[in-house]
Structure 1
Amino acid sequence: MRETSPRATTREPNPDPDPERTPGLERGGGVPPGETPPAEGSTPDAGPRETHNPTTGWSRTPVILIGLVVACFVVLFLGWLLELLG
């Protein structure tokens, strides 16, 4: 026999409740001061400053590898150009 969950049998609340019966709502739809939570802090206030792992830019190995690949392509295209012109 299949069991049904209690959530499946209960009805969901109205997503658009009656404004006359909504607590904390002033006439016209406004909210009185103190009814909403305070604003959140900004992102820099999220935690302590991280000094143990500062960014230092590119390391030497990737720069050297990229330079070697570019140099190989330059030599390849120069050889191809000399072959076409020669």
Structure 2
Amino acid sequence: MSAPDPEPRTTPPHGGVPPGETPPGESSTGSGAGPYRPLTRGWGKGPLLLICLVALACALFFLAYAVMLNV
């Protein structure tokens, strides 16, 4: 058995929480984390060129290594 309710007029039935004291079930704001910024055009030319040069240097190194092994 539970103890008698000290204030039956202000306590909701069945020990629940009265309306207005709990947050809403869903957020009323958007999920964005800041102001809207339009998307940019993608990779910058500098980083893309650097990646291509590193990949080309690696490919040339392994090609030269394969040639040296076959000689």
What band does the TM-score fall into relative to the shorter chain? 0.5 to 0.7
Percent of pairs with identical residues: 39
Q: Which amino acid aligns with 1:84?
A: L
Counterparts in 2 of 1:74 and 1:26: CA distance versus 1, 3 Å: same
How big is the shift at 1:56?
2.0
**In the TM superposition, what are the counterparts of 1:3-82 in structure 2 within 5 Å?**
26-38=12-24, 39-40=26-27, 41-44=29-32, 48-51=35-38, 54-82=39-67
Q: How large is the Cα RMSD of the aligned pairs?
A: 2.8
How big is the shift at 1:27?
4.5
Partner SS for 2:41: coil
How big is the shift at 1:65?
0.7
Counterparts in 2 of 1:50 and 1:66: CA distance versus 1, 3 Å: closer
TM score, norm. by length of structure 2 = 0.61
Question: CA-to-partner distance for each residue in 1:27-72, whole Å, 9 max, x for gaps?
Answer: 444212222244532224x665334xx3221011111111011101
TM score, norm. by length of structure 1 = 0.52
Aligned length: 62
Q: Which amino acid aligns with 1:43?
A: S
Counterparts in 2 of 1:77 and 1:58: CA distance versus 1, 3 Å: same
Q: Which amino acid aligns with 1:75?
A: L
Q: Can you give the 5+ residue segments of structure 2 that lack an aligned partner in the other structure?
A: none
